[in-house]
Structure 1
Amino acid sequence: MCGIAGFVPRNFVSNPERTLNAMLTRIQHRGPDECGTYLSDRLCMGNVRLSIVDLASGQQPLSTQDGRYWIAYNGEVFNYLELKRDLEIKGHTFKTNCDTEIVVHMYQEYGSECLQHLNGQFAFSIWDEVKDELFLARDRMGIRPLFYSYQKENFVFGSEIKSIFEFPEINRALNHRGLQQVFTFWTTLTPQTIFEDVYELPPGHYAIFNRDKSLTIHRYWDLKYEKNNSLTIETAKNQFQSLFEDSIKLRMRADVPVAAYLSGGLDSTSTTAFIKKMFPEALNTFSIGFEEQDFDETIFQKEVADHLDTRHHSVIFKNDDVIDLFYDVIWHTEIPVLRSAPFPMYKLSKLVRDNDIKVVITGEGADEMLGGYNVFKEAIIRHFWSKYPDSKIRPMLLKKLYPYLPQLQGAGNSMLKLFFGYKLLETDSPIYSHLLRWNNTSRIANHFSEDLRKTLNGKDIVRKYEESVIEKIKNYSPLSKAQYIESTVFMSGYLLSSQGDRMAMGNSVEGRYPFLDHRIIEFCASLPDDFKLNGLNEKYLLKEVVKNVIPQSVLKRPKQAYRAPIAQALLNNKNGFVDDTLASSAIKSFGVFNEKSIAGLITKMRKTPNISEIDNMALMGILSTQILYKQYIEEFRYLKDEEIRKGVVRN
């Protein structure tokens, strides 16, 4: 895994080599092993490399033999060996054994159509010397990030926004519309980011920047739910298992050891079990436990590690770690977060790296593809309840979904109606499954400052999102609608970014996701709904596939949401972190929030024994926004020459 950065200068840049090296230094954590640059008066482009495949000769940027196409590449194309054989038949020759060279030759052969052939997770740039044209592309689900900015006729791009901010005269300001999106959807909606004039290339898209024709963006892949109702469960099991085994086999390709995350849940246990079945040699597994017992799954992690005979490593996440890691985590997310879940993932990836492991396989994607989340079950129960809205029994089903929310366990019918009854009867809405979640989250915006509220002008961003997807998903089943939204908004915008790529790459670790092989995604999208969510039994097909290969205790245990402490960790800490960060002077200075509203929130939370999820998310979102503003707006400074000299590892 790597990081890329570059720019097409249309206005004068005083020292382009220094600027590019500064951009690469900012993201050296993505590639601490090597650095390479391509410099001309028409393009400056570079790469920092985390060496995983072809350690000896995979340096970047590299070109085709004729020197026409140059590539800087972040990611892995797992089927590169198969693609290489096809290219050799067509007459291509190669000077390395790395997948990077395969990608640039695929572009040489097929142009933008090459993306249809790539099985992987990637973001890359290819420069065409003849056309004076830059090609940028991102993988189907957005596993790897890619950002750009087009200001004062200079086009600048990079794997992370902090890299773009090293380019002279790039504007640094919070995007208020993006901030409103975060405090509704948990993430910005591509191409928006949290910063003004900085954009994200959407997943499944490519962009072309031509010095004469400017920037055009094109979709090459989209998630589609087209049911194959002729499938039997036995046929589906066999097809899924075959795809899953091949996905794992491809993702085990590396010239360095590959490990696995092991949470003790169904997804990571299934992945680890199949790795051990196919590659019975020693396997390193990694897990994180919690000092706070409500979040801890250590007993299940140890049981699975013993059952599968892995070389297991674990670390405990302490409540104080939230504050200790706050600045590092937000520096890497580059976006406010409403949950503390990224913090343990950051600590876990550090444990991986401390054990000299660069690559780890994880179970992300199974919940989205196979109907594992409570938001899917919640929508089904609300549909069921809506048919008899005065029922006193039907809403009680919702209590079973959230045993970890103490305020719900003693709730009666009226309380449940208040909590879950938002737009209960609007079942025809294409975004029905997420209306409740987004309404609850958007309440955090009540803490915005008066000036910010005026700027936002009361625009209904949920309605705007609904309008953008209604034609695409209106004929989907309720489950497919919910899956589409969860996969294209939450998973790509938050799970694979703030909780995934950013936390792993912050410690120079590459995550790989067998459930997110595009063949598995497309297969799962074709499944009948009851193969995924069978009644309220989530991930039914996966359970059928693994029922004889994983411990029964894992197979039958209720799904436990991945959570981490917030209020307990922040408000009980005695070092003044919350009070200092949310001091009235700081709130006023940044201008995002209302200082009186924030003070009232903190007072209420310190007096309330059972703190609501909304208040927990509000606290985390407000703190992370204040710290993000401080890091990227108020205190951000360009790197000094000495820092650049020390930071960049040259070929």
Structure 2
Amino acid sequence: MCGIAGICQTDASPLPPQCMHWVRAMTARMAHRGPDGEGFWDGARACFGHRRLSIIDLSGGAQPMSSADGDLTITFNGEIYNFARLKEQLAAQGARFATDSDTEVILEAYRLWGVDCLARFDGMFAFALWDQARQRLFCARDRFGKKPFFYTLWGGRLFFASELSALEQIRELPLTPDPQAIVRYLAYEYVPTPATLYAEARSLEPAHMLLLEDGRLRIRRYWDLPCPDEDDRRDPDSLCEELRFLLTRAVRRRMVSDVPLGVFLSGGIDSSIVAGLMAHQSPTPVRTFSIGFREASYDESRYARIVARAFGTEHHERVLDADECADSLPGIISSMDVPMADASVAPTWLLSGVTRQKVTVALGGDGADELWAGYEHYIGFLLAQWYNRLPGPLRRGIIEPLCRLLPSGAGYINPRLAVSTFLRAAHAPAWQRVQTMLTALAPDVQHAILDSAFPGKNTALLAPENLFAPTREHYEHWQPPQAATPLARAFHVYARQFLLDDILVKVDRCSMLHSLEVRAPFLDRDAAEFAARLPLKHKLRGFRRKWLLKRAFADLLPPEILHRNKRGFQIPVAQWLRGRLRPLMEDLLSPAALKAQGIFQPQAVRALMDRHFSGKEDLRKPLWTLLVFQLWWRARRA
């Protein structure tokens, strides 16, 4: 895993010397992504920088790397898991290799197959490749967006980097906050790709390539997630056998490393499967790592210990409390290059730190919830369809008033909050329903708290069709059109939006801040396509989630793990905002701070805080989202 940066002239003129100074500044900002070395390449029209975290071919894989004839040069972040097989195919076609690295395989694959080489790669990657003969810049990002790639055009040049904060190092670049991106962050808890918080900067979408050639910038999709084949009549036993083969192979491929490996182990289904498959293929005890909480309703460490004992792992555990998390929070958020209000950022960052003390690479269960129906929201989506078939007077006159009488709470499960979120989603159009279940600050709340002088106060920006346009794009424009069932489209939204901009961003940034590489076997190309093509009944059967996944690994997992309810990797936000984190929130959301900033209306924000502090309402999501934004904003202004 690494950090990449570079600049390319859009026309035929050479780059000025200043550009290499800028590339060095961008590369230096990402030292945490590659502490094992740095490298630079200076061509006439392009220059690259690279920070290296050595994983494979520790001595021979330095970058940027050029081909033997000097025609091709690449700066690459990631891993190509099937590089050994590709290397054999390329060698059979006459390619010669000077290293054992996957980087050189990309160069030779491009030489032989051109941009179509992307279809052959199974891995996580973002790279930029300069083709001297064609005078072409070829950039690409992996199928799910596990590795980041940001870019901007300015002054007749394209600037790119692995992190947005690297682009911030070039003071001359115009990077202005985008009001539309800010209001979307407040709703989503992140800024949906391809936008960033800056109007001038973009994020290359996953499964897309960027080509800069003949003065033209072209962006093209090279892959999409397959749609479910509801006509698949294969029996569950044969499907289970194929799934076990695919995931076993995916884990084995991700165990290839010249440095120590481990597993993020939560005690849930997904990470337990990864730990079990890894243990069965490792000649030595696997190292597992988990985080626990002192608050019982959030703690899963007991389950992680059960799995560790079952597979004989060398288990490492750390228990967190409010003080430790609160003390770490400002530094964690400030070091993130993008605002990210997923409350599990803090424990993920701390878990990465614990893991990095022992290993350089960790495997995790990311992607399984999105591909195998792990979230309760999938059931909520179905229930909303059924609920709307009930007579209106029954819904509005009896059920909904009774729901308002449910008790509130600050634990992991808050009945009133869960039901009110469900009802809000049930009332929304089908395309909007998925995001409504996840929304932090709804349009009406944003309208109340945004300062009248802030451009985002504009009613048009907060209209659902604009605010949630990224979700609608994924939901309505997924091809092919026959995959039109609402539930299939909900799956697609989770896999192409929430997984991308929340889960994978969180894991990449938190792990790389500790120079740790994290690999996701469930996002293996073949395993993911297998899951995506399955009829939905094999994932969600009644109220049973991950039905086929659990069936396939029933003999591998301890019974306590197989039959337990899912818990998210969260922190006790509601309690901590009323307790240990309250002074921090009072400071960052004080009238003086908000007035000086000019985005939020102080009295309206204060009202939200008071309603939460009273215990009468659970406003953890909007307040946490605001708190994270303020921490991130303060760091950027500094």
TM-score computed with the length of structure 1 as normaliser: 0.90
Query: How far apart are the structure 2 equivalents of 1:46 and 1:133?
Result: 18
- The verdict on how the C-alpha distance between 1:310 and 1:115 changes in structure 2, with shifts beyond 3 A counting, is same
**Cα distance, 1:185 vs structure 2:** 2.6
Query: How far apart are the structure 1 equivalents of 2:25 and 2:581?
Result: 38
Moved more, 436-445 or 115-124: 436-445
Query: How far apart are the structure 1 equivalents of 2:43 and 2:560?
Result: 60
Matching of residue 64 in structure 1 with residue 70 in structure 2: no
Matching of residue 623 in structure 1 with residue 630 in structure 2: no
Deviations 1:181-203 (A, max 9, x none): 22223322221011221100000
SS in 2 for 1:472: coil
Q: Which residue of 2 aligns with 1:555?
A: 562
Structure 1's unaligned 5+ residue stretches are 636-651
Map 1:179-578 → 2, pairs under 5 A:
179-210=182-213, 212-227=214-229, 228-355=231-358, 357-389=359-391, 390=394, 407-408=414-415, 416=419, 419-422=421-424, 424=426, 429-438=430-439, 441-445=442-446, 446-452=448-454, 453-455=456-458, 457=460, 458-460=462-464, 461-462=466-467, 464-465=469-470, 468-469=473-474, 470-472=476-478, 475-497=483-505, 499-573=506-580, 576-578=583-585
Equivalenced residue count is 621
Percent pairwise identity: 28
- The verdict on how the C-alpha distance between 1:383 and 1:606 changes in structure 2, with shifts beyond 3 A counting, is same
Query: How far apart are the structure 2 equivalents of 1:313 and 1:268?
Result: 15
**Cα distance, 1:425 vs structure 2:** 6.3
**Cα distance, 1:151 vs structure 2:** 1.5
Query: How far apart are the structure 1 equivalents of 2:403 and 2:103?
Result: 51
**Cα distance, 1:575 vs structure 2:** 8.5
**Cα distance, 1:172 vs structure 2:** 3.0
Query: How far apart are the structure 2 equivalents of 1:520 and 1:512?
Result: 14
Moved more, 24-33 or 226-235: 226-235
Structure 1 letter corresponding to 2:556: V
Query: How far apart are the structure 2 equivalents of 1:123 and 1:43?
Result: 17
Runs of at least 4 residues off by over 4 Å? 9-14, 391-400, 402-407, 439-444
**Cα distance, 1:624 vs structure 2:** 1.6
Matching of residue 16 in structure 1 with residue 19 in structure 2: yes
**Cα distance, 1:127 vs structure 2:** 0.6
Structure 2 letter corresponding to 1:377: I
Query: How far apart are the structure 1 equivalents of 2:589 and 2:389?
Result: 45
Moved more, 312-321 or 542-551: 312-321
**Cα distance, 1:146 vs structure 2:** 0.5
Preserved CA contact (<8 Å) 1:264 1:297: yes
Moved more, 86-95 or 566-575: 566-575
**Cα distance, 1:596 vs structure 2:** 1.3
- The verdict on how the C-alpha distance between 1:423 and 1:339 changes in structure 2, with shifts beyond 3 A counting, is closer
Deviations 1:580-616 (A, max 9, x none): 22222221222221111122222222222x642xx21
Preserved CA contact (<8 Å) 1:426 1:432: yes
Q: Which residue of 2 aligns with 1:645?
A: none
Structure 2 letter corresponding to 1:186: E
Matching of residue 51 in structure 1 with residue 58 in structure 2: no
Of residues 95, 114, 117 in structure 1, which corresponds to 2:117? 114
Preserved CA contact (<8 Å) 1:288 1:298: yes
**Cα distance, 1:447 vs structure 2:** 1.9
Q: Which residue of 1 aligns with 2:588?
A: 581
Structure 2 letter corresponding to 1:373: Y
- The verdict on how the C-alpha distance between 1:433 and 1:455 changes in structure 2, with shifts beyond 3 A counting, is closer
Deviations 1:80-104 (A, max 9, x none): 0000000000000011000011011
Structure 1 letter corresponding to 2:45: R
Query: How far apart are the structure 2 equivalents of 1:543 and 1:423?
Result: 29
**Cα distance, 1:115 vs structure 2:** 0.3
- The verdict on how the C-alpha distance between 1:437 and 1:90 changes in structure 2, with shifts beyond 3 A counting, is same
**Cα distance, 1:385 vs structure 2:** 1.9
Map 1:93-172 → 2, pairs under 5 A:
93-172=96-175
Structure 1 letter corresponding to 2:560: S
Preserved CA contact (<8 Å) 1:263 1:269: yes
Deviations 1:383-435 (A, max 9, x none): 222222426789999999x99565526x9xxx94x5533363667x3444444
Query: How far apart are the structure 2 equivalents of 1:584 and 1:432?
Result: 34
Q: Which residue of 2 aligns with 1:36?
A: 39
Query: How far apart are the structure 2 equivalents of 1:186 and 1:322?
Result: 19
Preserved CA contact (<8 Å) 1:340 1:564: yes
Query: How far apart are the structure 1 equivalents of 2:233 and 2:370?
Result: 23
Preserved CA contact (<8 Å) 1:176 1:456: no
Query: How far apart are the structure 2 equivalents of 1:456 and 1:506?
Result: 38
**Cα distance, 1:301 vs structure 2:** 1.1
SS in 2 for 1:287: strand
Query: How far apart are the structure 1 equivalents of 2:360 and 2:443?
Result: 38
Structure 2's unaligned 5+ residue stretches are none
Preserved CA contact (<8 Å) 2:128 2:138: yes
Preserved CA contact (<8 Å) 2:150 2:201: yes
SS in 1 for 2:544: coil
Query: How far apart are the structure 1 equivalents of 2:517 and 2:459?
Result: 38
CA RMSD of aligned residues (A): 2.6
Structure 2 letter corresponding to 1:91: G
Preserved CA contact (<8 Å) 1:260 1:362: yes
- The verdict on how the C-alpha distance between 1:158 and 1:620 changes in structure 2, with shifts beyond 3 A counting, is same
**Cα distance, 1:518 vs structure 2:** 1.5
TM-score computed with the length of structure 2 as normaliser: 0.92
Structure 1 letter corresponding to 2:22: T
Structure 2 letter corresponding to 1:327: P
**Cα distance, 1:169 vs structure 2:** 0.7
Preserved CA contact (<8 Å) 1:20 1:46: yes
Query: How far apart are the structure 1 equivalents of 2:170 and 2:319?
Result: 39
**Cα distance, 1:328 vs structure 2:** 2.7
Q: Which residue of 1 aligns with 2:7?
A: 7
Preserved CA contact (<8 Å) 2:152 2:202: yes
Query: How far apart are the structure 1 equivalents of 2:182 and 2:191?
Result: 7
Deviations 1:535-559 (A, max 9, x none): 1100011111111111101101111
**Cα distance, 1:462 vs structure 2:** 4.8
**Cα distance, 1:7 vs structure 2:** 0.7
Preserved CA contact (<8 Å) 1:431 1:481: no
- The verdict on how the C-alpha distance between 1:55 and 1:465 changes in structure 2, with shifts beyond 3 A counting, is closer
Query: How far apart are the structure 1 equivalents of 2:581 and 2:67?
Result: 59
Preserved CA contact (<8 Å) 1:362 1:514: yes
- The verdict on how the C-alpha distance between 1:395 and 1:72 changes in structure 2, with shifts beyond 3 A counting, is farther
Moved more, 260-269 or 175-184: 175-184
- The verdict on how the C-alpha distance between 1:14 and 1:630 changes in structure 2, with shifts beyond 3 A counting, is farther
Preserved CA contact (<8 Å) 1:273 1:308: yes
Moved more, 506-515 or 375-384: 375-384
Deviations 1:277-304 (A, max 9, x none): 1224211100000122221111111111
